[in-house]
Protein backbone atom coordinates (compact mmCIF):
# COMPACT_ATOMS: atom_id res chain seq x y z
CA UNK A 1 0.00 0.00 0.00
CA UNK A 2 3.06 2.27 -0.01
CA UNK A 3 2.38 5.49 -1.85
CA UNK A 4 -1.40 5.38 -1.42
CA UNK A 5 -3.44 6.71 1.49
CA UNK A 6 -2.99 4.67 4.67
CA UNK A 7 -6.19 4.68 6.75
CA UNK A 8 -5.93 3.94 10.49
CA UNK A 9 -7.65 0.64 9.88
CA UNK A 10 -9.25 -1.35 7.10
CA UNK A 11 -10.53 -4.80 6.19
CA UNK A 12 -8.71 -7.36 4.06
CA UNK A 13 -11.16 -9.14 1.74
CA UNK A 14 -9.81 -11.72 -0.73
CA UNK A 15 -11.30 -13.67 -3.63
CA UNK A 16 -12.18 -16.62 -1.40
CA UNK A 17 -14.27 -14.33 0.83
CA UNK A 18 -16.07 -13.05 -2.26
CA UNK A 19 -16.66 -16.62 -3.49
CA UNK A 20 -18.09 -17.62 -0.12
CA UNK A 21 -20.62 -14.77 -0.28
CA UNK A 22 -21.44 -15.47 -3.94
CA UNK A 23 -22.13 -19.10 -3.09
CA UNK A 24 -24.78 -18.03 -0.56
CA UNK A 25 -26.30 -15.64 -3.09
CA UNK A 26 -26.75 -18.55 -5.51
CA UNK A 27 -28.33 -20.72 -2.81
CA UNK A 28 -31.73 -21.00 -1.12
CA UNK A 29 -31.25 -18.81 1.93
CA UNK A 30 -30.32 -15.18 2.07
CA UNK A 31 -31.49 -14.45 5.59
CA UNK A 32 -31.42 -17.10 8.34
CA UNK A 33 -30.08 -20.28 6.77
CA UNK A 34 -27.40 -22.84 7.51
CA UNK A 35 -24.51 -20.39 7.22
CA UNK A 36 -25.55 -18.51 10.35
CA UNK A 37 -25.20 -21.66 12.45
CA UNK A 38 -22.04 -22.66 10.63
CA UNK A 39 -20.43 -19.33 11.54
CA UNK A 40 -21.72 -19.48 15.11
CA UNK A 41 -20.24 -22.97 15.60
CA UNK A 42 -16.85 -21.89 14.21
CA UNK A 43 -16.77 -18.76 16.35
CA UNK A 44 -17.74 -20.63 19.53
CA UNK A 45 -15.03 -23.18 18.85
CA UNK A 46 -12.41 -20.51 18.07
CA UNK A 47 -12.95 -18.57 21.29
CA UNK A 48 -13.68 -21.62 23.45
CA UNK A 49 -17.28 -20.85 24.41
CA UNK A 50 -20.21 -23.31 24.41
CA UNK A 51 -22.48 -21.00 22.43
CA UNK A 52 -22.23 -18.08 20.00
CA UNK A 53 -25.16 -16.03 18.70
CA UNK A 54 -24.48 -13.95 15.58
CA UNK A 55 -26.31 -10.66 15.24
CA UNK A 56 -26.61 -7.56 13.09
CA UNK A 57 -23.91 -5.47 14.82
CA UNK A 58 -21.76 -5.23 17.92
CA UNK A 59 -24.24 -2.65 19.21
CA UNK A 60 -27.11 -5.13 18.75
CA UNK A 61 -24.99 -7.71 20.59
CA UNK A 62 -24.46 -5.34 23.52
CA UNK A 63 -28.19 -4.64 23.68
CA UNK A 64 -28.99 -8.37 23.54
CA UNK A 65 -26.55 -8.87 26.41
CA UNK A 66 -27.96 -6.13 28.68
CA UNK A 67 -31.51 -7.32 27.97
CA UNK A 68 -30.72 -10.98 28.68
CA UNK A 69 -28.82 -9.96 31.83
CA UNK A 70 -32.18 -8.62 32.99
CA UNK A 71 -31.12 -5.00 33.13
CA UNK A 72 -34.26 -2.95 33.81
CA UNK A 73 -35.23 0.65 34.55
CA UNK A 74 -33.57 1.77 37.77
CA UNK A 75 -30.79 -0.84 37.56
CA UNK A 76 -27.27 0.50 37.51
CA UNK A 77 -24.44 -0.74 35.32
CA UNK A 78 -20.76 0.23 35.43
CA UNK A 79 -19.15 1.27 32.13
CA UNK A 80 -15.71 2.78 31.48
CA UNK A 81 -15.82 6.22 29.80
CA UNK A 82 -13.00 5.23 27.43
CA UNK A 83 -15.08 3.29 24.91
CA UNK A 84 -17.36 3.67 21.94
CA UNK A 85 -20.81 5.14 22.65
CA UNK A 86 -22.54 1.78 22.19
CA UNK A 87 -21.25 0.24 25.45
CA UNK A 88 -23.02 2.85 27.57
CA UNK A 89 -26.00 3.15 25.23
CA UNK A 90 -26.77 -0.57 25.62
CA UNK A 91 -27.48 0.12 29.30
CA UNK A 92 -29.76 3.03 28.41
CA UNK A 93 -31.71 0.98 25.80
CA UNK A 94 -32.95 -1.13 28.73
CA UNK A 95 -33.71 1.96 30.81
CA UNK A 96 -30.79 1.25 33.12
CA UNK A 97 -28.48 3.90 34.52
CA UNK A 98 -24.83 4.16 33.57
CA UNK A 99 -22.23 4.61 36.30
CA UNK A 100 -18.99 5.68 34.65
CA UNK A 101 -15.95 4.25 36.40
CA UNK A 102 -12.52 5.65 35.65
CA UNK A 103 -9.78 4.05 33.57
CA UNK A 104 -6.05 3.76 33.93
CA UNK A 105 -4.49 6.92 32.41
CA UNK A 106 -1.78 4.88 30.67
CA UNK A 107 -3.82 2.03 29.19
CA UNK A 108 -7.37 3.41 29.10
CA UNK A 109 -8.56 0.15 30.71
CA UNK A 110 -11.20 -0.04 33.43
CA UNK A 111 -9.63 0.22 36.86
CA UNK A 112 -10.94 -2.58 39.13
CA UNK A 113 -10.30 -0.62 42.36
CA UNK A 114 -12.61 2.05 40.99
CA UNK A 115 -15.32 -0.55 40.36
CA UNK A 116 -14.84 -1.82 43.91
CA UNK A 117 -15.36 1.72 45.27
CA UNK A 118 -18.56 2.13 43.27
CA UNK A 119 -19.86 -1.24 44.42
CA UNK A 120 -19.05 -0.35 48.06
CA UNK A 121 -20.89 2.97 47.78
CA UNK A 122 -23.92 1.74 45.78
CA UNK A 123 -26.90 1.56 48.10
CA UNK A 124 -29.10 -0.56 45.85
CA UNK A 125 -26.28 -2.51 44.29
CA UNK A 126 -24.83 -2.72 40.82
CA UNK A 127 -26.59 -5.00 38.37
CA UNK A 128 -23.89 -5.31 35.69
CA UNK A 129 -20.34 -4.30 34.80
CA UNK A 130 -19.24 -3.96 31.18
CA UNK A 131 -15.43 -4.07 30.91
CA UNK A 132 -14.00 -2.95 27.57
CA UNK A 133 -10.84 -4.61 26.25
CA UNK A 134 -9.51 -1.39 24.72
CA UNK A 135 -7.29 -1.81 21.65
CA UNK A 136 -7.29 -5.58 22.28
CA UNK A 137 -5.68 -5.56 25.73
CA UNK A 138 -7.68 -7.06 28.55
CA UNK A 139 -9.14 -5.63 31.72
CA UNK A 140 -8.08 -7.63 34.81
CA UNK A 141 -10.83 -10.23 34.44
CA UNK A 142 -9.92 -12.61 37.30
CA UNK A 143 -10.13 -9.70 39.79
CA UNK A 144 -13.37 -8.44 38.26
CA UNK A 145 -14.86 -11.95 38.43
CA UNK A 146 -13.93 -12.24 42.14
CA UNK A 147 -15.62 -8.91 42.82
CA UNK A 148 -18.66 -9.99 40.77
CA UNK A 149 -19.03 -13.13 42.85
CA UNK A 150 -18.95 -11.13 46.09
CA UNK A 151 -21.17 -8.27 44.94
CA UNK A 152 -23.52 -10.27 42.72
CA UNK A 153 -23.30 -8.31 39.46
CA UNK A 154 -23.30 -9.72 35.93
CA UNK A 155 -20.14 -9.28 33.85
CA UNK A 156 -20.64 -8.52 30.14
CA UNK A 157 -17.36 -8.18 28.24
CA UNK A 158 -17.29 -5.62 25.45
CA UNK A 159 -14.78 -7.67 23.46
CA UNK A 160 -15.30 -5.75 20.20
CA UNK A 161 -11.55 -5.00 20.07
CA UNK A 162 -10.30 -8.31 21.34
CA UNK A 163 -11.21 -11.21 19.05
CA UNK A 164 -8.20 -13.52 19.32
CA UNK A 165 -6.71 -11.96 22.46
CA UNK A 166 -5.49 -14.35 25.16
CA UNK A 167 -4.49 -13.68 28.75
CA UNK A 168 -3.01 -15.63 31.63
CA UNK A 169 -5.05 -16.55 34.69
CA UNK A 170 -2.45 -18.13 36.93
CA UNK A 171 -0.87 -20.70 34.64
CA UNK A 172 -3.94 -21.06 32.49
CA UNK A 173 -4.25 -19.35 29.09
CA UNK A 174 -7.73 -17.84 28.69
CA UNK A 175 -9.16 -16.84 25.33
CA UNK A 176 -11.33 -13.69 25.21
CA UNK A 177 -14.86 -14.82 24.38
CA UNK A 178 -14.57 -18.09 26.31
CA UNK A 179 -16.50 -16.34 29.10
CA UNK A 180 -14.22 -17.89 31.72
CA UNK A 181 -14.79 -14.80 33.90
CA UNK A 182 -18.02 -13.38 32.49
CA UNK A 183 -21.58 -14.32 31.62
CA UNK A 184 -21.36 -13.00 28.07
CA UNK A 185 -18.79 -11.52 25.69
CA UNK A 186 -19.75 -9.28 22.77
CA UNK A 187 -17.88 -8.96 19.47
CA UNK A 188 -18.20 -6.57 16.53
CA UNK A 189 -17.30 -7.51 12.97
CA UNK A 190 -17.50 -3.99 11.57
CA UNK A 191 -14.87 -3.91 8.78
CA UNK A 192 -12.44 -1.89 10.88
CA UNK A 193 -12.37 -4.64 13.55
CA UNK A 194 -10.29 -7.82 13.39
CA UNK A 195 -12.56 -9.69 10.95
CA UNK A 196 -15.17 -8.17 8.63
CA UNK A 197 -18.82 -9.09 8.24
CA UNK A 198 -20.09 -5.81 6.74
CA UNK A 199 -22.29 -4.90 9.67
CA UNK A 200 -22.31 -7.69 12.22
CA UNK A 201 -21.51 -8.96 15.68
CA UNK A 202 -21.93 -11.87 18.05
CA UNK A 203 -22.45 -12.74 21.70
CA UNK A 204 -20.81 -15.77 23.30
CA UNK A 205 -21.81 -17.55 26.51
CA UNK A 206 -21.53 -20.90 28.29
CA UNK A 207 -24.97 -20.73 29.92
CA UNK A 208 -27.73 -22.65 28.06
CA UNK A 209 -30.47 -20.45 29.53
CA UNK A 210 -28.66 -17.25 28.52
CA UNK A 211 -28.15 -18.76 25.06
CA UNK A 212 -31.88 -19.48 24.65
CA UNK A 213 -32.77 -15.95 25.77
CA UNK A 214 -30.24 -14.42 23.37
CA UNK A 215 -31.82 -16.32 20.46
CA UNK A 216 -35.26 -15.15 21.56
CA UNK A 217 -34.30 -11.49 21.97
CA UNK A 218 -32.55 -11.49 18.58
CA UNK A 219 -35.82 -12.57 16.94
CA UNK A 220 -38.61 -10.31 18.31
CA UNK A 221 -38.73 -12.11 21.66
CA UNK A 222 -40.46 -15.05 20.00
CA UNK A 223 -39.98 -18.78 20.47
CA UNK A 224 -41.01 -21.93 18.62
CA UNK A 225 -39.81 -24.23 21.39
CA UNK A 226 -42.79 -26.26 22.60
CA UNK A 227 -41.49 -26.57 26.15
CA UNK A 228 -41.53 -22.76 26.42
CA UNK A 229 -45.18 -22.31 25.35
CA UNK A 230 -47.45 -20.73 27.96
CA UNK A 231 -50.77 -20.66 26.08
CA UNK A 232 -51.01 -24.44 26.08
CA UNK A 233 -54.60 -24.46 24.69
CA UNK A 234 -53.54 -22.44 21.65
CA UNK A 235 -50.18 -24.14 21.24
CA UNK A 236 -51.26 -27.79 21.22
CA UNK A 237 -53.60 -29.80 19.04
CA UNK A 238 -55.94 -32.48 20.47
CA UNK A 239 -53.07 -34.99 20.21
CA UNK A 240 -51.03 -32.74 22.61
CA UNK A 241 -48.51 -32.04 19.83
CA UNK A 242 -47.69 -28.38 18.99
CA UNK A 243 -49.55 -26.78 16.09
CA UNK A 244 -47.18 -26.37 13.12
CA UNK A 245 -47.80 -22.65 12.66
CA UNK A 246 -47.60 -21.79 16.31
CA UNK A 247 -45.12 -19.42 17.91
CA UNK A 248 -45.21 -17.40 21.07
CA UNK A 249 -43.75 -14.16 22.38
CA UNK A 250 -43.01 -14.48 26.09
CA UNK A 251 -41.16 -11.16 26.21
CA UNK A 252 -40.35 -8.36 23.79
CA UNK A 253 -37.32 -8.45 21.49
CA UNK A 254 -35.97 -6.93 18.31
CA UNK A 255 -34.94 -8.04 14.84
CA UNK A 256 -31.19 -8.24 15.44
CA UNK A 257 -30.63 -11.26 13.18
CA UNK A 258 -27.54 -11.71 11.04
CA UNK A 259 -28.10 -12.86 7.47
CA UNK A 260 -26.56 -15.86 5.73
CA UNK A 261 -24.89 -13.39 3.35
CA UNK A 262 -23.11 -11.65 6.21
CA UNK A 263 -22.28 -14.88 8.03
CA UNK A 264 -20.70 -16.31 4.86
CA UNK A 265 -18.26 -13.41 4.84
CA UNK A 266 -17.60 -13.69 8.57
CA UNK A 267 -17.11 -17.47 8.37
CA UNK A 268 -14.62 -17.08 5.55
CA UNK A 269 -12.80 -14.28 7.39
CA UNK A 270 -12.62 -16.28 10.61
CA UNK A 271 -10.47 -18.87 8.82
CA UNK A 272 -7.85 -16.13 8.41
CA UNK A 273 -8.04 -14.79 11.94
CA UNK A 274 -4.76 -16.39 13.01
CA UNK A 275 -2.83 -14.85 10.13
CA UNK A 276 -4.52 -11.46 10.64
CA UNK A 277 -3.57 -11.48 14.32
CA UNK A 278 -0.02 -12.63 13.64
CA UNK A 279 0.47 -9.77 11.20
CA UNK A 280 -1.06 -7.23 13.59
CA UNK A 281 1.34 -8.41 16.30
CA UNK A 282 4.30 -8.16 13.94
CA UNK A 283 3.36 -4.63 12.93
CA UNK A 284 2.81 -3.56 16.55
CA UNK A 285 6.24 -4.93 17.52
CA UNK A 286 7.80 -3.01 14.64
CA UNK A 287 6.09 0.20 15.73
CA UNK A 288 7.24 -0.37 19.32
CA UNK A 289 10.83 -0.74 18.22
CA UNK A 290 10.94 2.09 15.70
CA UNK A 291 9.10 4.57 17.92
CA UNK A 292 11.48 4.09 20.83
CA UNK A 293 13.60 7.09 19.95
CA UNK A 294 10.60 9.44 20.20
CA UNK A 295 10.19 8.65 23.91
CA UNK A 296 9.23 10.32 26.23
CA UNK A 297 7.35 12.77 23.97
CA UNK A 298 5.68 9.77 22.34
CA UNK A 299 5.06 6.51 24.18
CA UNK A 300 4.02 3.21 22.61
CA UNK A 301 1.07 1.32 24.15
CA UNK A 302 1.85 0.18 27.69
CA UNK A 303 1.72 -3.62 27.65
CA UNK A 304 -0.47 -5.37 30.18
CA UNK A 305 1.40 -8.17 31.90
CA UNK A 306 0.11 -11.64 31.04
CA UNK A 307 -1.93 -10.45 28.05
CA UNK A 308 -1.21 -11.40 24.45
CA UNK A 309 -3.41 -8.92 22.61
CA UNK A 310 -4.75 -9.29 19.08
CA UNK A 311 -4.16 -5.50 18.69
CA UNK A 312 -7.26 -3.99 17.12
CA UNK A 313 -5.69 -0.55 17.50
CA UNK A 314 -2.15 0.74 17.80
CA UNK A 315 -2.70 3.77 20.03
CA UNK A 316 0.31 5.82 21.12
CA UNK A 317 0.32 8.49 23.81
CA UNK A 318 1.81 11.85 22.88
CA UNK A 319 2.75 14.69 25.20
CA UNK A 320 1.40 17.34 22.83
CA UNK A 321 2.21 20.19 25.18
CA UNK A 322 5.87 19.20 25.33
CA UNK A 323 5.97 18.69 21.56
CA UNK A 324 4.71 22.21 20.94
CA UNK A 325 2.08 20.86 18.54
CA UNK A 326 -1.64 20.32 19.00
CA UNK A 327 -3.22 16.98 18.19
CA UNK A 328 -5.13 18.62 15.37
CA UNK A 329 -1.92 19.97 13.84
CA UNK A 330 -0.33 16.53 13.98
CA UNK A 331 -3.40 14.80 12.49
CA UNK A 332 -3.66 17.36 9.68
CA UNK A 333 0.03 17.01 8.84
CA UNK A 334 -0.24 13.22 8.86
CA UNK A 335 -3.25 13.42 6.58
CA UNK A 336 -1.38 15.72 4.18
CA UNK A 337 1.32 13.05 4.05
CA UNK A 338 -1.31 10.40 3.20
CA UNK A 339 -1.57 8.88 6.67
CA UNK A 340 -4.83 8.45 8.56
CA UNK A 341 -5.04 8.60 12.34
CA UNK A 342 -7.90 8.63 14.82
CA UNK A 343 -8.75 9.32 18.44
CA UNK A 344 -10.21 6.41 20.42
CA UNK A 345 -12.24 7.72 22.19
CA UNK A 346 -13.91 10.94 23.29
CA UNK A 347 -14.83 10.00 26.90
CA UNK A 348 -18.48 8.98 26.77
CA UNK A 349 -19.42 10.78 30.01
CA UNK A 350 -18.62 14.09 28.26
CA UNK A 351 -21.29 13.55 25.58
CA UNK A 352 -24.12 16.09 25.91
CA UNK A 353 -26.68 13.30 26.35
CA UNK A 354 -24.86 11.85 29.37
CA UNK A 355 -23.99 15.26 30.83
CA UNK A 356 -27.66 16.16 30.69
CA UNK A 357 -28.60 12.91 32.45
CA UNK A 358 -25.91 12.69 35.09
CA UNK A 359 -24.28 16.12 35.32
CA UNK A 360 -20.52 16.60 35.40
CA UNK A 361 -18.32 13.80 36.67
CA UNK A 362 -14.61 13.95 37.33
CA UNK A 363 -12.76 11.05 35.72
CA UNK A 364 -9.11 12.14 35.61
CA UNK A 365 -7.81 8.85 34.20
CA UNK A 366 -10.05 9.12 31.15
CA UNK A 367 -9.26 12.82 30.75
CA UNK A 368 -5.51 12.16 30.79
CA UNK A 369 -5.72 9.20 28.41
CA UNK A 370 -7.95 11.15 26.02
CA UNK A 371 -5.59 14.14 25.97
CA UNK A 372 -2.67 12.01 24.83
CA UNK A 373 -4.03 9.21 22.66
CA UNK A 374 -3.64 8.86 18.90
CA UNK A 375 -4.31 5.68 16.90
CA UNK A 376 -1.86 5.03 14.08
CA UNK A 377 -2.56 2.89 10.99
CA UNK A 378 -2.75 -0.83 11.80
CA UNK A 379 -4.22 -3.51 9.54
CA UNK A 380 -2.92 -6.82 8.19
CA UNK A 381 -2.21 -5.73 4.61
CA UNK A 382 0.13 -2.93 5.73
CA UNK A 383 3.75 -3.44 4.72
CA UNK A 384 6.81 -3.12 6.95
CA UNK A 385 7.69 -0.07 4.86
CA UNK A 386 4.35 1.51 5.75
CA UNK A 387 5.32 1.37 9.43
CA UNK A 388 8.62 3.10 8.65
CA UNK A 389 6.78 5.76 6.69
CA UNK A 390 4.34 6.42 9.53
CA UNK A 391 7.15 6.64 12.09
CA UNK A 392 9.27 8.99 9.97
CA UNK A 393 6.32 11.21 9.14
CA UNK A 394 5.19 11.34 12.74
CA UNK A 395 8.68 12.25 13.94
CA UNK A 396 8.75 15.00 11.32
CA UNK A 397 5.29 16.28 12.34
CA UNK A 398 6.44 16.44 15.96
CA UNK A 399 9.61 18.30 14.91
CA UNK A 400 11.79 15.41 16.03
CA UNK A 401 13.72 14.59 12.88
Ligand X SMILES: *Cc1c(COP(=O)(O)O)cnc(C)c1O
Binding residues for ligand X (CB under 6 A) = 57-59, 83-84, 86-87, 132, 158, 160-161, 188, 190, 201
Residue placing its CB nearer to ligand X in the complex, 258 or 390: 258
How many angstroms separate the Cα of 128 from the Cα of each of 173, 248, 357, 371?
25, 29, 19, 28
Residue 88: in which H helix or E strand, if any? Answer: helix 85-93
Exposure b/e, 38-48, CB count within 10 A at least 16 = b:
bbbebbbebbb
Residue placing its CB nearer to ligand X in the complex, 44 or 160: 160
Residue placing its CB nearer to ligand X in the complex, 257 or 389: 257
Least distance from C-beta 316 to ligand X, angstroms? 18
Q: What's the full length of the chain, in residues?
A: 401
Residue placing its CB nearer to ligand X in the complex, 201 or 300: 201
Residue placing its CB nearer to ligand X in the complex, 57 or 66: 57
Least distance from C-beta 237 to ligand X, angstroms? 42
Least distance from C-beta 59 to ligand X, angstroms? 3
**317: three-class secondary structure by DSSP:** strand
174: closest CA among 365, 347, 308?
A: 308
Least distance from C-beta 178 to ligand X, angstroms? 19
Residue placing its CB nearer to ligand X in the complex, 191 or 242: 191
DSSP state letter for 167: E
Closest-by-Cβ residue to ligand X is 58
What is the per-residue DSSP string for 171-212? TEEEETTS-TTSSEEEEE--TTSSS--SS-EEEEES-HHHHH
Least distance from C-beta 133 to ligand X, angstroms? 8
Residue placing its CB nearer to ligand X in the complex, 177 or 201: 201
Least distance from C-beta 35 to ligand X, angstroms? 19
Contacts of 361 (CB under 8 A, 6+ apart): 100, 349
Residue placing its CB nearer to ligand X in the complex, 58 or 301: 58
Least distance from C-beta 325 to ligand X, angstroms? 27
Q: Is the four-CA dihedral 238, 240, 241, 245 of positive or negative sign?
A: positive
Could you give the CA distance from residue 196 to residue 268 in angstroms, rounded to a whole number?
9
Burial (CB count within 10 angstroms: exposed 0-12, middle 13-18, buried 19+), residue 116 = middle
How many angstroms separate the Cα of 388 from the Cα of each of 6, 171, 301, 382?
12, 36, 17, 11
Least distance from C-beta 373 to ligand X, angstroms? 14
Phi, then psi, of 203 in degrees rounded to 5: -120, 135
Amino acid sequence: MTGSFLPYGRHVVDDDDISAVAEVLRGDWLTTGPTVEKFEASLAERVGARFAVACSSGTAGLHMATAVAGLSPGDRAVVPPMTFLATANAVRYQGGDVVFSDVDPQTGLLNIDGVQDIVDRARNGIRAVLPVHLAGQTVDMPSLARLAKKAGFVVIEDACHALGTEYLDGNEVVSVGSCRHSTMAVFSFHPVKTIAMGEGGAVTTNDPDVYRKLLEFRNHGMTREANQFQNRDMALDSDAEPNPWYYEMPSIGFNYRASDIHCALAHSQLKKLNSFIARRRELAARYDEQLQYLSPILLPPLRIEGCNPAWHLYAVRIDFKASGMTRKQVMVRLREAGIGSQVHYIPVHLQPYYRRLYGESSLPGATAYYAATLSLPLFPSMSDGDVGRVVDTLAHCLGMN
